[in-house]
Structure 1
Amino acid sequence: MKIASQRPLFCIGIGCSAGGLEPACEFFQQVVEKTGAAFVVIPHLGIEHKSKFSSILERYTHMPVHRVERDIKLETDHVYVLAEDRMMMVEDGYLKVRRRYTREIINKSIDIFFKSMAKAYRENGIGVILSGMGTDGIEGIKVIEDHHGLVIVQDPDTTDFNILPQSAINKDDPHAILPPADIARFLLRHLKIDNSLKLR
């Protein structure tokens, strides 16, 4: 008999665009402990070809990796990667997925997810910005902070494309600015401390 999975206490949203695959792999290589969190990766992807982001990422983590094309329940210590031509929100413990509308010429998938995560998880929502171009995610991290969540940004000096992380730093006041591996270690410490406080 399958035991019902526990709803993740934390949700970690990871937004990236150009140059984001390598730092995402570096991040997940360091996540070697149970966390009590679900990890949701929102990369900007071309819609012409099926993305290999999730299949590459699963080589760098022991956690199950899901390519998200339709609604799916969030589980603790699982990784969810948004598929191309999709938008998603988190609601009632599920990732709710729809197709990207043709009128959505500017990709706002990170903002859409971050805003929904902030409302659903409040202080237990964590937004991470990695390498990328553009400004998608900037509105979202503001909503995360408004709900007392955590925001961490990749150090622009360690990125291939620094416009997105630099914009996040300029527009916001992230809790930490670190290379990808150090972001993971920072989060592991944060989650361990936060979990122990909530269990008291």
Structure 2
Amino acid sequence: MALEDNNDKIDNTTVTDDIPLVVVGIGASAGGLEALQGLVANLPPASGMSFILAQHLSPSHKSMLVDLLEKNATIPVLVAVNKVKLLPNTFYICPPNYNVEITRDNLITLSATSEIRHTPRPSVDMLFESIAFAKGESAIGIVLSGTGTDGSRGLRAIKGEGGFGIAQDPNTAKFDGMPNSAINSGNVDLILPPDEIGIELKSIVTFPRRVPLEIETTVPRELYSGILRKIKRRQKIDFTLYKESTIMRRIERRMTALKVPKVQSYFNYLDENEAEIEILFNDMLIGVTSFFRDTTAFLRL
């Protein structure tokens, strides 16, 4: 299906200049077709999000993914084209024997791969890392059925930039290697069957706490300090001197995942669910995309 043939189907009404485009990267491998069919059939048709898929494919076979997915899809399904700008409410598929990335200008970048393949193609990690770098908190990564660990490193990058991670429930996956690897990495916010992911995506981007809080004026000091005390008691780490805005973003993300709208309610939830303290603690320790941001300076040092 040509891009030009689908422009009339694309609903741009949910995106404005004031709202950054949310880009959802999706990674799948063996057994991914069934998961993808359940996912695209239940995507919100006017979410304003753009979806891009890296599915491990044989470079010697013509992909039928577009034909297979568009039958029940709620939005247009297209083959990704190099240097084409991402459109909202559109699902893009990376062609075989290419890696796919996006730029900060929301452009698709395809790079051809050599015949000697040492890693899966297209690389889910490469896609996720580019989305993390380009979109920051407007990045979402989804890992579906497949073998191996592709996508886990990329989810770490997305989480490190304040984005959101989702994995298919391994019990619903034909091959649970990729989902389990993602979950075990500690970088997954939600674990869901594919047909339920679309509903959650809509709630993630419309959740009222998506906008960063000014903690001094919005969150009572006693609640913020109380959460840090709970973490210190259980994990033996004191976050008191850490940057408050960063910690609040981690708290907000956990509240989003749990659909808890009030800080007081989340504070009470921590009392009733000690395991959540450990999850929040691990979320705070997620590293950024690159620790040595000023490489030249560190090499000189």
Higher mean Cα deviation, 97-106 or 128-137?
97-106
- Alignment length, in residue pairs? 196
Q: Aligned-pair distance for 1:102?
A: 3.3
- Aligned to 1:96, the other structure's residue is in SS state strand
CA distance in 2, matches of 1:115, 1:130: 17
Residue equivalent to 2:113:
100
Q: Give the drift of 1:195.
A: 10
136-145 vs 5-14, greater mean Cα deviation: 5-14
Match of 2:71, SS state, is helix
Segments of 5+ residues of structure 1 without an aligned counterpart are none
Instruction: Describe how 1:21-60 pairs up with structure 2 within 5 A.
Output: 21-60=33-72
Matched, 1:133 2:147: yes
**Any idea what SS the aligned residue of 2:25 has?**
strand
Higher strand share: 1
Kindly state the Cα deviation for residue 66 of structure 1 after the two structures are TM-superposed. Answer: 1.1
Query: Which residue type is aligned with residue 109 of structure 2?
Result: K
- How far apart in 2 are the matches of 1:130 and 1:107? 15
CA contact (8 A) 2:155 2:187 kept: no
Q: Which whole-Å deviations, capped at 9, do the CAs of 1:152-196 have from their partners, x for residues lacking one?
A: 000000000001101111112411111011111111111222699
Alignment of 1:183-194 (within 5 A): 183-193=197-207
CA gap of 1:27–1:194, structure 2 versus 1, over 3 A, is farther
Alignment partners' CA distance in 1, 2:86 and 2:61: 26
Q: Which has the higher helix share?
A: 2
In structure 2, distance between residues paired with 1:194 and 1:127: 21
**2:207 alignment partner, SS class:** helix
- TM-score by structure 1 length? 0.90
- Which residue, 166, 180, 186 being the options, matches 1:152? 166
Conservation of the 8 A alpha-carbon contact between 2:81 and 2:108: no
Seq. identity, %: 32
CA RMSD between the two structures = 2.2
78 and 105 in structure 1: CA distance in 2 versus 1, 3 angstrom threshold: same
AA aligned opposite 2:203: R
Say if 1:43 and 1:82, in contact at 8 Å, map to a contact too: yes
Q: Secondary structure at the match of 1:12?
A: strand
- The answer to whether the aligner puts 1:110 opposite 2:136 as a matched pair is no
Equivalent-residue separation in structure 2 for 1:145 and 1:135 (angstroms): 17
Alignment match, 2:135 = 121
Residues 153 and 178 in structure 1, CA contact (< 8 A), matched pair in contact too: yes
When normalised by structure 2's length, the TM-score is 0.61
The CA deviation string for residues 86-132 of structure 1, in whole angstroms up to 9 with x for no partner, is: 11110121011111133442116100010000010000100000000
* Residues 33 and 68 (structure 1), Cα distance of their counterparts in 2 relative to 1, 3 Å cut: closer
From 168, 171, 176, the equivalent of 2:190 is 176
CA distance in 2: counterparts of 1:80 and 1:195, whole angstroms: 29
Equivalent of 1:82 in 84, 88, 94: 94
**Partner residue in 2 for 1:10:** 22
Distance in 2 between residues matched to 1:195 and 1:55, nearest whole Å: 38
User: Unpaired runs of 5+ in structure 2?
Assistant: 1-6, 213-301
Contact 1:35/1:192 (<8 A) preserved: no
**Which structure has the larger Rg?**
2
